[in-house]
């Protein structure tokens, strides 16, 4: 008999439903400019109330160029609740994976699409929050996120070594009967207890094991017993 497994987390759900236009930018006040030879400086803080917002799985909000106007990074509410599919005008934006890689599309009414792709290797360092690599616009050419004079930096993950809070970014289960892999972000090098619950109406959380966050804060745990349950909910706990 096949069983349907369902996984969720409070923090993750709240984050995904958060609208980029309702929160101030998370880009550092001192380091917030990208540069393109054909369009000049691009301010990732925007007007601070509508600047870029870096999250666990997606980037949202807007960046601003005096020469081409506002550029939209996504609205922070992907249709599948996890990452932008980039397959329609209502579900596009820049995704951030567990390694900090930035992939997807941003859109400016005056310049069209900007590609965040492997070729330019755009990325955010999970420990420092500093951006690197380049993105490409068919109409404006390459835009550098980091160079000899300036770079873009997020304040969300910088200095994460002192924070014990944690968030789940994804839960994957490739096939029926396979293990579930839980990934997230916590404080650098901190030890977390991985807990599961089969019914959120109860407070019965069971300890499954532990996971230590990597230097950049990445957390990962594999639940080999997931196939034994119809549904299971997860969380990281510290202490």
CA atoms within 13 A on the CB side of 230: 3
Query: What is the per-residue pLDDT across 168-195, written as a single tens digit (0 to 9) for each?
Result: 878 888 888 899 999 887 777 788 999 9
Q: Same structural domain for residues 33 and 148? A: yes
pLDDT (0 to 100) of residue 14: 28
Q: Same structural domain for residues 186 and 140? A: no
Residue where a domain stops, chosen among 127, 154, 181:
154
Residue 1 lies in a domain: no
Residue 89 lies in a domain: yes
Mean per-residue pLDDT for 211-234? 88
Residue 2 lies in a domain: no
Cα–Cα distance, 41 to 50 (Å, whole number): 17
Residue where a domain stops, chosen among 91, 124, 154:
154
Residue 172 lies in a domain: yes
Q: Same structural domain for residues 83 and 23? A: yes
11-50 per-residue burial string, b: 16 or more CB within 10 A, e: under 16? bbeebbebebeebebbbbeebbbbbbeebeebbbbbeeeb
Higher pLDDT, 54 or 165: 54
The total domain count for the chain is 2
Query: What is the per-residue pLDDT across 95-139, written as a single tens digit (0 to 9) for each?
Result: 998 778 999 999 999 999 999 999 999 999 877 789 999 999 999
Residue 14 lies in a domain: no
Q: Same structural domain for residues 139 and 54? A: yes
Higher pLDDT, 51 or 19: 51
Residue 85 lies in a domain: yes
Cα–Cα distance, 202 to 163 (Å, whole number): 28
* Strand pairing class (141-144; 40-43): unpaired
Q: Same structural domain for residues 146 and 202? A: no
Domain membership of residue 111 as a residue range: 19-154
């Amino acid at each position: 008999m096949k069983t349907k497994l369902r996984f969720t987390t409070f923090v993750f759900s709240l984050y995904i439903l958060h609208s980029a236009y309702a929160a101030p930018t998370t880009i550092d006040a001192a380091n917030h400019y990208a540069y393109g030879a054909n369009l000049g400086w691009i301010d990732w803080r925007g007007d601070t109330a509508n600047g870029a917002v870096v999250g666990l799985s997606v980037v949202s909000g807007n960046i601003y160029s005096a020469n081409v106007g506002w550029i939209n990074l996504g609205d922070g509410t992907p249709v599948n609740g996890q990452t932008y599919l980039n397959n329609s005008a209502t579900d596009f934006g820049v995704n951030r994976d567990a390694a900090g890689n930035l992939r997807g599309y941003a859109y400016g009414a005056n310049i069209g699409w900007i590609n965040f792709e492997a070729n330019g290797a755009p990325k955010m360092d999970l420990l420092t929050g500093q951006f690197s690599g380049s993105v490409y616009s068919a109409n404006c050419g390459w835009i550098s996120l980091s160079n000899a004079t300036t770079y873009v930096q997020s304040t969300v993950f910088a200095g994460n070594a002192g924070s014990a809070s944690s968030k789940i970014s994804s839960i994957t289960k490739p096939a029926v009967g396979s293990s579930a892999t839980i990934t997230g972000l916590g404080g650098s090098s901190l030890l977390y207890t991985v807990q599961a619950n089969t019914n959120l109406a109860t407070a019965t959380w069971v300890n499954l094991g532990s996971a230590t966050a990597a230097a950049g804060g990445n957390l990962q745990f594999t639940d080999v017993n997931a196939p034994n349950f119809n549904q299971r909910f997860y969380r990281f706990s510290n202490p």
